[in-house]
Structure 1
Amino acid sequence: MMIIEARYYPEIVDELARGAIQVLEQHGSTYKRFEVPGAFEVPAAVRMAIRSMDFSLDRRRFDGYVCLGCVIRGETSHYDIVANESARALQNLACEFTLALGYGIITCDTMEQAWERARVDRRNKGGEAARTVLAMIELKRRLNLYPRQT
Structure 2
Amino acid sequence: MSNLQQQRNDITHIDGNLHQNEAARIGIVVGRFNGFVVESLVDGAIDALLRHGVLGSNITVIRVPGAFELPLVAQRAAESDRFDAIIALGAIIRGSTPHFDFVASESAKGLSSVAIDYNIPVANGVITTDSIEQAIERSGTKAGNKGSEAAMVVLEMLAVLSQLDIDDDYDNDNDA
* Range class of TM-score, shorter chain: 0.7 to 0.9
* Secondary structure of 2:30 counterpart: strand
Query: In the superposition, relative to structure 1, how do residues 45 and 120 fare at CA in structure 2: closer, same or farther (>3 Å)?
Result: farther
2:120 paired residue number: 99
Cα distance in 2, alignment partners of residues 35 and 134 from structure 1: 21
1:36 paired residue number: 64
Matched, 1:26 2:26: no
* Secondary structure of 2:165 counterpart: coil
Runs of 4+ with deviation above 3 angstroms: none
Alignment of 1:112-123 (within 5 A): 112-119=133-140, 122-123=143-144
Matched, 1:144 2:165: yes
Contact 1:19 1:120 (8 Å CA) reproduced: no
Query: In the superposition, relative to structure 1, how do residues 120 and 136 fare at CA in structure 2: closer, same or farther (>3 Å)?
Result: farther
1:87 paired residue number: 108
Q: CA deviation at 1:122?
A: 4.0
Contact 2:93 2:128 (8 Å CA) reproduced: yes
Q: CA deviation at 1:68?
A: 0.3
Per the normalisation by structure 1, the TM-score is 0.87
Contact 2:78 2:114 (8 Å CA) reproduced: no
* Secondary structure of 1:46 counterpart: helix
Identity of aligned residues (%): 40
Count of aligned pairs between the two proteins: 138
1:57 paired residue number: none
Q: CA deviation at 1:75?
A: 1.0
Contact 2:114 2:122 (8 Å CA) reproduced: no
Q: CA deviation at 1:49?
A: 1.5
Per the normalisation by structure 2, the TM-score is 0.75
Contact 2:68 2:106 (8 Å CA) reproduced: yes
1:148 paired residue number: none
Give unmatched runs, 5+ long, in structure 2. 1-25, 167-176
Cα distance in 1, alignment partners of residues 144 and 52 from structure 2: 20
One-letter amino acid of the structure 2 residue matched with residue 11 of structure 1:
F
One-letter amino acid of the structure 2 residue matched with residue 14 of structure 1:
E
Q: CA deviation at 1:144?
A: 1.7
Matched, 1:64 2:85: yes
One-letter amino acid of the structure 2 residue matched with residue 93 of structure 1:
V
Contact 1:15 1:120 (8 Å CA) reproduced: no
* Secondary structure of 1:68 counterpart: strand
2:30 paired residue number: 5
